[in-house]
Amino acid sequence: MSKQYPILALVVLAMALLACGNLPAVNLSSDRQATAGPLNAPVAAITPAVPPTLLPSPTPLSQALIQEADAEELLLINLYERVSPSVVSIQAVVAGETFEHPPLPEGVPTPEIPNEPFRQEGEGSGFVVDTQGHIVTNNHVVVDTTELHVTFSDGSIVPASIVGTDPDSDLAVIKVDVPSESLRPIIWADSDQVHVGQRAVAIGNPFGYENTLTSGIISGLSRSLPAVTGYLIPEIIQTDAAINPGNSGGPLLNSQGEVIGVNSAIVPSFNQLGERSFLGVGFAIPSSLARRVVPALIEKGEYAHPWIGISGVTVVSEIAAEMGLPEAKGALVIRVIPGGPADEAGLQGGEREVEVLGRPLTLGGDVVVRIDDYEVSRFDDLLSYLSRRTEVGQNVQLTIIRDGETQTVTVTLGRRPATAVQQ
């Protein structure tokens, strides 16, 4: 019923009483006034009894919807109970040199400062991968640390040591010395089977809050993430499951509680204190890459990434038009790194500078449209193939377009340098 009902009822009653000749004047609103009668009657005396507004009763949920909601809750509860014992909190300490106070003016006494080394502490996440005590985390969680401690879900804290690191994939393996029967290894999933829209669950230690579960969906696939070395990590998984500082190195799980990725980065926002928080865009290193890198880190302490020695971009329609290509497809070689595998194989980079989409770009180089039997539609396709299907020393066949002609070039892959060659 409308909120104007009491006023309308009052007007009707007033008209009825006026007809009887005994209604005193009442101020009905700030801009409408009665024109006759003394203003001496209490308002309550003329306010009619108005029944309260009746709100409709909420429609009860169907039993099917209640059961569906209960099933969702039970799934997450069961997943957490099974997987959280496999997830750990990692406390990392970086110790520096003792602090030395800068010189002070003559006659000013130097303050007494404890002669203790500088310590910086950080926190991340990780997960157990076998009964030998190996734990996977991010490289950036443990890099340059002098001391590591791992906290398990039962509250026990043990020291850990670094087994291997790989800055190019932002992955690392650390190890704890605990009885094998107390370890609960995770189960890997195949990230190639992941689809946009499916459920994604993260367990980690955001802001130090240990064993926190968040859930969302897979928001995107085939993203690229820059590593600290300057190279790109291909096939990154994007999720809207809340990931915050402290989640780094923890698992991203499917509905079965299997690991589809290693949480690594976010697109952050910053509050007034300069603290980072989640905007709904998080990234995880795919399990397909982790399952290649982790065994090598355990065995050798490092992973040798295959390298072709080029820089380039995806051929878009503007590039195709400028170069007279039949279609907008392939990886355009902008630069061939001198002395690299592609240089030795005779690949050619661009030689003329033009502006494409408002940005300067070097055109005229070879366009890679296939590597072995794998079609290359984007530059990331080339990176993905090298990452998942090749190794150092392997020969690959590149199908290229050069000066409008299609030809094949054989390249022997080398080992990627420690840092990307500046372009």
Q: Which H/E stretch holds residue 9?
A: helix 5-20
> How far from the centroid of its chain's Cα atoms is residue 6's Cα?
55
CA distance 364 to 114: 63
Give the separation between CA 199 and CA 196, rounded to whole angstroms: 9
Exposure letters 73-110 (e unless 16+ CB within 10 A, then b)? eebeeebbeebbbbbbbbbbeeeeeeeeeeeeeeeeee
Q: Which two tokens stand for residue 305?
A: 């990434």
What whole-number distance in Å separates Cα of residue 133 and Cα of residue 181? Answer: 10
The three-class DSSP label of residue 72 is helix
Q: Residue 218: which of 188, 182, 243 has the closest Cα?
A: 243
Which residues, in sequence order, are bridge partners of residue 42?
Answer: none
d(CA 3, CA 384): 64
Amino acid at 412: T
Structure tokens at 136: 């996977």
Determine the Cα–Cα distance for residues 231 and 309; give it in Å rounded to an integer: 11
**In 10 A of CB 28, how many CB atoms?**
13
User: What would the two tokens of residue 14 be?
Assistant: 């007033």
CA distances from 109 to 44, 101, 142, 255 (A): 81, 11, 39, 64
The residue among 274, 212, 201, 208 whose CA lies nearest residue 246 is: 208
Contacts for 108 with CB less than 8 Å, ≥ 6 apart: none
Question: Which residues participate in catalysis according to the annotation?
Answer: 140, 170, 248
List, in order, residues 6 or more apart from 117 with CB less than 8 Å away. Answer: 95, 96, 97, 98
Q: How far apart are the first and last CA of the chain?
A: 70
Angle at the Cα of 15 from the Cα atoms of 10 and 21, rounded to 5 degrees: 120
d(CA 87, CA 309): 38
